[in-house]
Structures are given as C-alpha cells and as structure tokens.
Amino acid sequence: MDDAAVYRLTSDLAVVQTVDFITPIVDDPYRFGRIAAANALSDIYAMGAKPLFALNLVGFPVKTLPMGVLGEILKGAAHKAAEAGIQILGGHSIEDFEPKFGLSVTGVVHPARVVRNSTARPGDRLILTKPLGLGVLTTAGDRAGPEALERAVATMETLNSAASGVMTEVGVTACTDVTGFGLLGHLYEMVTASGVGAVVTAISVPILPEAEKLASEGVAPAGSHNNLAYLEDRVAWGRAATKTRKILLSDAQTSGGLLIAVPAAKSRKLLKRLHEAGVTEAVEIGGIVTDESAMIRVV
C-alpha cells in the first residue's frame, strides 16, 4: 500500500519511483513550486530512499496566465530540488484550464532497507514529524492571518529529508508520509496493511496555530470531510475526539510529515535525533497494538 514503486536491479540496489502533482494551494507561484516539489519528494523519503533526479509535470493555462508565473513555479521547484541534492532533468507540459504542477522522482535504496507502511508491529510507538492543519489553513487563506498562513507554507515547503535520514540511521519498523488522506487515513492504511491496531492520543497530536479555531468555525477542505466520512465507522472515537479534533485528525495534508512506527526501545532515541537534526516538531502521538480488526482508537 505504499505510494512509491520499488524495483530491484541487483542484490544491493533498488530503484524507487514516484509521481505526484497538485493544483495551487497558495497564491505565490514560486512558493507553490517549492511546496509541490517537497510534496513529490516526500514519497521517496517515506520509503527510506535517496532521490537521484526528477522530471517536471506541468499543466498550464498559457492563454490566461503570463508565462512568468510558470517560470516562478519552475524556479521554486528547481531551488527545492537543489536543497534535496538533486536536479530536475526535464519534463513535460500541456495546456490546461488551471495550473497543475508536480514531479516524477527517481531514487535508490538498498533492497533490504526499504521502509514500508505494511510492517508496523504491536508495541511500536508512533512518531509524527510535522503538525497537522495544513488543509484547514490553506482553505482559510487570508482568513487564517498572515502569521499562521506563513507557518503553514513554511511547513509544507520543508523537506522530509532530515526526518528520513534519521529514521534510516536509527532503524524503524514502518513509515508513511501524511498527505491527502490525513493522519488517520494514512494510519488506517498502515494498520490494515500491517494487520495491527493503533491507539492515538488526540491531545498529543500537534496542530498548527489557528487551525483549531478555524476548524471549529467549520473551515476545512472537502477532502478532509471525505476522509472523516470514510473513517467515521473505522475509528473508535473516545471522549477527547471532539468534532473539531476529528476533522483535524482527518485533515487532508499537502507535503505533511512522516508517520513513523518505531520499536518502543528506540522511540526516545529517534525523537532525540530528530530534534537534533532540526525536525523540532516531531512528537510521539500513540502506538501500535495487537488487533486483527485493524481498529484505530482515538483516546
């Protein structure tokens, strides 16, 4: 159930291939390019792989938007790729009614070190590396206020590379990145694929500033409502799961953090190393339990 394809070439080398593209979620084209690139690279990092190079995927309304806008998107992506230590070597563009942009990324990993989302084990602790609320805040736009919006954009621009590097160094059981299905949607993929259950402590899950307030006022993208509708009967909601918390835990993220399952004995070490590596918002949010019905309990 992983988002990336893994193809073994030799006994010690596998290719990891991903593709991801999105519609603009911020007004600034340069920053949209940066976010889209970080978002596309994320599936490589979630597998514990290293990116090698990428190709652009572009849909652009050439008749209604100046080409300079596209130039800014591509520049943002190129800068983000450079930060990831790779280059964008080409790509393909078509005319479209609204801008779309993303990357196909090629990476490599040792076949024995692939980090899957289907291998979580009872007793593992769950670590989340970025706060939630990105869908709510980008939907709110200016209503979120400049500071909260800036914080959300900066969070989406942040590569999951440092988190991935620490994860592979420490050694973990399973990982996925948190994107369109939200925290609980991606956790649900992990527990069903792994044949386990999970407990999430609602109060321990970090939420970006203003997102809680906006969500309580009913601000959330359609995707988050769809996620919650899907999860409603698949999650056992405790008393801490208020209506607002439910939507935030299901909030559709773009370029969200990594959700890592790590053996309990390594959990503190992983968190310490993450914080030292600059992944300062990483926290423990719950754990994996034995449960063949793959239930998530939010307490």
Q: Residue numbers of the site for Co ion (CB under 5 A)?
A: 3, 20, 43, 177
Nearer to Co ion, 186 or 246 (CB): 186
Please identify, using beta-carbon distances, which residue of 3 and 251 lies nearer to Co ion. 3
The answer to whether the Cα torsion of 27, 31, 33, 34 is positive or negative is negative
Q: Which two tokens stand for residue 63?
A: 């008749």
* Minimum CB–partner distance for residue 117 and Co ion (Å): 8
Given a contact cutoff of 8 angstroms between Cβ atoms, the answer to whether 175 and 259 are in contact is: yes
244 vs 254 by CB, closer to Co ion? 254
Write down the least CB distance from residue 46 to Co ion, Å.
Answer: 6
CB of 225 to Co ion, least distance (A): 20
* Type of residue found at 298: V
CA pair distance 150, 145, nearest whole angstrom: 9
H/E stretch holding 77? helix 67-83
Token output for 23: 């519609």
DSSP assignment of 254-289:
SS--EEEEE-HHHHHHHHHHHHHTT-TT-EEEEEEE
Token pair of 148 as six digits: 């909260």
As measured in angstroms, the least distance from the Cβ of 152 to Co ion is 19
* CA distances in angstroms from 92 to 80, 88, 229, listed in the order given: 19, 12, 36
| C-alpha span between 123 and 66 (Å, rounded) | 54
Q: Measured between alpha carbons, how far is 22 from 4 in angstroms, rounded to an integer?
A: 17
Kind and range of the H or E element at 245? Answer: helix 243-249
Structure tokens at 27: 């007004």
Pairwise CA distance, residues 148 & 138, whole Å? 10
**Residue number with CB closer to Co ion (3 or 210):** 3
In the complex with Co ion, the residue whose CB is nearer, 2 or 124, is: 2
Residue among 133, 77, 115 nearest 281 (CA): 133
Q: How far is the CB of 181 from Co ion (least distance, A)?
A: 9
Question: Which residue, 3 or 157, has its beta carbon nearer to Co ion?
Answer: 3
Instruction: Give the residue with the Cβ less far from Co ion, 36 or 207.
Output: 36
- Ranked by CB distance to Co ion, the top (closest) residue is 3
Q: Quote the least distance from Cβ 3 to Co ion, whole Å.
A: 4
Query: Nearest approach, Cβ of 254 to Co ion (angstroms)?
Result: 10
Per the document, the length of the chain is 299
Whichever of 190 and 219 has its CB closer to Co ion, that residue is 190
**Minimum CB distance to Co ion, residue 4 (Å):** 7
